[in-house]
Structure 1
Amino acid sequence: MAGLREMTMGPLDPEMQAILDRRNALGLPGFSAGTPDDARRAFAQSQAALPPARGAQNVTVHDASVPGPHGTVPVRHYRPEQGNGGRILYMHGGGWVFGTLDGFDPVCRQLAHESGAEVVSIDYRLAPEHPFPQPLDDCWAVLEALGEGMPLAVMGDSAGGNLAAALALRARYRGGPPIALQVLLYPVLSADFTRDSYTAFGQGDYLISREDMRWFWDQHVPPEMRHMPEAAPLAASDFAGLPEAIIVVGGCDPLHDEGACYAAALRDAGVKVTLRDHPGMAHGFFTLVDLLSAANAEVRELGALIASRLALP
């Protein structure tokens, strides 16, 4: 891993740095500095400071719900003008503690437009009020309800990437529903905070810190459960038979190395993997549609890759 660190370490992309500077100018506390409600307010404030009406506007959007074991799970459907018959279940980030359908609306709009697939954004329950495995159970209920009958990808960013990877594991254990592709965007995969990327980028200058990640894990998963693969997918003893994976990581992200390690573990088990490593990008870059040129470029390129993988026979 040291060689990988040497390859990807480097200064932040100037556009990425400018976005972080603008966020820092809001004077928001670190996520781990207060209560879950404080973290949710900070997220809402940062979202309110962004320009409205971002993402592709030529998609049809409607809200619905799916019954789940802990109650109704709200979802939002994004249908592109020219669909290809595929579907993406999208799980947003936010450390399992915050995140809303509205907050991730721009990236879901753009993803539907670029991929040609219907995107279904899942408003899963949040910790600490609803700790592990309740968020995963919500996502599983949506997968069971909507996963049949068309080529399907599970996709998520950060904590949502954790849920997407866990869905793929659970579907393998339980024999379906079938998943053609897992797309993991700088995913949370392990509660190991000693990796090189944590040392290099975990001090709080790159959106999230090591202390933030410790705090997120404390809200969601008790220490005695962190050995479970559905909580920490890197803890799995066997990765064979999992769906093809596309893993996106940022070169200036504390979570960089666990994403790269997961790609290596899948590849060693015979799973087809594409690792897309972006030097100069910090955590969260993919969702900054219409704010960061690298975000729009990656959504466009990733959308094309997803379309090719979900192509109907």
Structure 2
Amino acid sequence: MPLDPQIQALLEKGAGVPATETLPVPEARAQYDARVALMAPAPQVATREFSIPGPGGPLRIRLYTPDGEGPHPLLVFFHGSGFVLCSLETHDGICRNLCAGGGVVVASVDYRLAPETKFPGPTEDCLAATRWCAEHAAELGADPARLLVGGDSAGGNLATVTALRLRDEGGPKLAGQLLLYPVTDFHTPGTPSYVENATGYGLTRATMEWFWGHYLAQPEDATHPHAAPLRAPDLAGLPPALIQTAEYDPLRDEAELYAARLQEAGVPVQVTRWAGMNHGFLFWVGRVDAARPAMEEACDWLRRTTGG
């Protein structure tokens, strides 16, 4: 179907903004942070922040707690934007919606960003944060037996890698993985959607090349399964997944290929391609009408997967 008209209007509103890949990293971060002012108000839930020990120093966590008596399921969430941009603030609305709608405690992780911390540093942070949250679930008002990981875009990549590492490196066991238009592979050779949606829909191929250039410490890292989980040799034994993709997204095909590989490995997978949407559309719940059903699907999946 055609690009959603409300998405088109948002793209037109940002038409004069410099392309991400033309900016120094601090300016690109400021540009993405400015999006927060355009987002719709999100549900009010209880929040608090604290720091935990991390591989490279303290890691900030923002905890969101739903109404009702716990312990609740626990979703450890990793924000997206190419391993380089965004923050707890930019993804506050998404986390609030998942918490309120999904009935889960959300622990949003402020992992270290590239280029200051290159691969595999962010993956180490996310693994450490997930294990810490599982070990301290009781004090978070959460149930460690209903532990999930999730994220959008690069955060989806970090969630897939965390799931792989927990499977291979001694747990804890996960109940599910919520992957919102995830990065699962390097940009080259790329997939048909990298060509079809290379420009004109927000995220571009050139921006993805810029992201990867900042994230990888050396060229050979591009094929490491902890950077490009689509290249992992074996996906058996991973937790159930919801994978959402967008029609007008360069990353659409690699996410759907990852879903297919999970299914082939016997992992329960629900995969939905959201027609008319572009990469990052879940930022716009409350501004783009068609984003709401996708968020509701994610929340319903969280409830079903955790027995809520």
Shorter-chain TM range is: over 0.9
The structural deviation recorded for 1:165 is 0.4
1:61 aligns with 2:47: yes
Render the CA deviation track for 1:171-226: whole Å, top value 9, x for unaligned: 011120111101111111111343110111112x1111111101100100132111
Partners of 2:113 and 2:178 in 1: how far apart?
21
* 1:29 and 2:18 are equivalent in the alignment: yes
Question: RMSD of the alignment, in Å?
Answer: 1.4
Shift of 1:70: 0.5
- 1:6 aligned partner: none
Between 154-163 and 81-90, report the one with greater CA deviation.
81-90
Whether the 8 Å CA contact 1:83–1:118 is kept in 2: the answer is no
Q: Report how many aligned residue pairs link the two structures.
A: 297
Q: Determine if contact 1:89/1:122 at 8 Å carries over to the other structure.
A: yes
Counterpart in the other structure of 1:307: 303
Q: Distance in 1 between matches of 2:69 and 2:261?
A: 33
Structure 1 match to 2:183: 188
Q: Stretches of 4+ moved more than 6 A in 1?
A: none
Please give the alpha-carbon distance, in whole angstroms, between the structure 2 residues aligned to 1:83 and 1:30. Answer: 46
Which residue of 5, 10, 14 corresponds with 2:5? 14
Would you say 1:273 and 2:260 are equivalent positions?
no
Deviation at residue 287 of structure 1 after TM alignment: 2.2
Residues 1-313 of structure 1 correspond to what in structure 2 (within 5 A)?
Answer: 10-24=1-15, 27-48=16-37, 50-51=38-39, 54-57=41-44, 59-82=45-68, 85-148=72-135, 149-193=144-188, 194-203=190-199, 205-221=200-216, 222-311=218-307
> Which segments of 5 or more consecutive residues in structure 1 lack a partner in the other structure?
1-9
Aligned residue identity for 1:31: T
Between 1:119-128 and 1:296-305, the stretch displaced more is 296-305
Structure 2 distance, partners of 1:192, 1:94, is 15
Contact (CA 8 Å) 2:187, 2:209: kept in 1 or not? no
Aligned position for 2:138: none
Between the aligned partners of 2:125 and 2:215, the Cα distance in structure 1 is: 14
SS in structure 1 at match of 2:224: coil
The 1:83/1:30 distance shift into structure 2, 3 A limit, reads: farther
* Whole-Å separation in 1 of the counterparts to 2:292 and 2:233: 36
CA deviation string 1:253-275 (max 9, x = no partner): 01000011000111111111110
Please give the secondary structure, in 2, of the residue aligned with 1:56. coil
Q: How far apart are the structure 2 equivalents of 1:45 and 1:110?
A: 20
After superposition, the Cα gap between the structure-2 partners of 1:83 and 1:273, relative to the gap in structure 1 and judged at 3 Å, is farther
The one-letter code matched in structure 2 to 1:17 is Q
**Shift of residue 83 of structure 1?**
5.5
Q: Is the 8 A contact 1:23 1:46 kept in 2?
A: no
Q: Distance in 2 between matches of 1:83 and 1:229?
A: 39
**Mean CA deviation greater in 296-305 or 71-80:** 296-305
Instruction: Indicate the SS of the match to 1:93.
Output: coil
Give the TM-score normalised by structure 2. 0.93
Q: Percent identity?
A: 40
Please report how far the alpha carbon of residue 291 of structure 1 lies from its aligned counterpart in structure 2 after TM superposition. 1.4
The aligned counterpart of 1:7 is none
2:63 partner SS: strand
Q: Is the 8 A contact 1:83 1:117 kept in 2?
A: no
Q: Take 1:51 and 1:120, find their aligned partners in 2: how far apart are those partners?
A: 21
- Is the 8 Å Cα contact of residues 235 and 262 (structure 2) preserved in structure 1? yes
